[in-house]
Structure 1
Amino acid sequence: MTSNIPVTYQEVFKTDKGVVYQCDATHRLILEFWDTHTQFSARDFTHFRRMVETVDIRQMALSTAAEHDVEILALPRSERCYVLTLCEIVHLRELLSGARLMLELNSMLRECGCTVAE
């Protein structure tokens, strides 16, 4: 995966399937996943992460019905959507959960006056 990410973007969390960046200039989180780039406000990022977490992957895995082959997730405040398979949802969950944990860690470090080494 190659990208031309501006210098103002800081990597929050990365997996082999995608990366989440933070842009301090625009106060946005940028999700790069499966060759797409989607910008979110912090609130919309949290909303989207919760949407991904609520997908019933057990049902998808066990069902033989065609309607459980993919999950369609509409992005907050956007006309775009993701059409994801079971494996893609698992990879996206890993990416979004890791990003959430890193953002929480950075927030806790700032609260206690620590600086994050670059």
Structure 2
Amino acid sequence: MGGSNVPATYQEVFRTDKGVVYQCDTSNRLILEFWDTHTQLSARDFAQFRCMVETVDIKQMALSTAAAYDVEILAPPRSERCYVLTLCEIVHLRELLTGAKLMLELNAMLRECGCSMAN
């Protein structure tokens, strides 16, 4: 995961032991690297996908014995990728996406503070 194959234009936003989110200022995209897949998303698509992951009822998945609740199928907006995720994978993906969202918000706040301090 990640390592030396990461383009120089990618800046790491947030990392867990299961994945990483990069920001590419050249393409104005966020790159989700999760379970050896790479998915490029606009900021809007990233937010929509994060909401999709957040709305999965993990309590229902954990408590149900029905086979229909063994996996969740999620497709990021405007992407050909499709994730078929178990309960544990959804939890790991939530952690990654939530951490990335918080780091992006923190960076935006720091930029605002830097701009207002310069004025």
- TM-score range normalised by the length of the shorter chain: over 0.9
Shift of 1:78: 2.0
The residue that corresponds to 2:93 in the other structure is 92
Cα distance between partner residues in 2 of 1:6 and 1:21? 10
Is the Cα–Cα contact under 8 Å of residues 39 and 81 in structure 2 kept in the other structure?
Answer: no
Post-superposition CA distance 1:46-98 (Å, at most 9, x none): 00000000000000000000000000001201232100000000000000000
The residue that corresponds to 1:47 in the other structure is 48
Structure 1 runs of 4+ aligned residues shifted over 3 Å read none
Shift of 1:2: 4.8
Is the Cα–Cα contact under 8 Å of residues 2 and 20 in structure 2 kept in the other structure?
Answer: no
More helix by share: 2
What's the RMSD between the two structures over aligned residues?
Answer: 1.0
Percent of aligned pairs sharing the same letter: 83
Cα distance between partner residues in 1 of 2:75 and 2:35? 16
Is the Cα–Cα contact under 8 Å of residues 49 and 76 in structure 2 kept in the other structure?
Answer: yes
TM-score normalised according to structure 1 size:
0.93
The residue that corresponds to 1:36 in the other structure is 37
Q: Which runs of 5+ in 1 are unaligned?
A: none
Cα distance between partner residues in 1 of 2:37 and 2:74? 14
TM-score normalised according to structure 2 size:
0.93
AA partner of residue 45 (structure 1)? F
Cα distance between partner residues in 2 of 1:35 and 1:63? 29
Post-superposition CA distance 1:22-64 (Å, at most 9, x none): 0011110000000000000000000000000000000000000
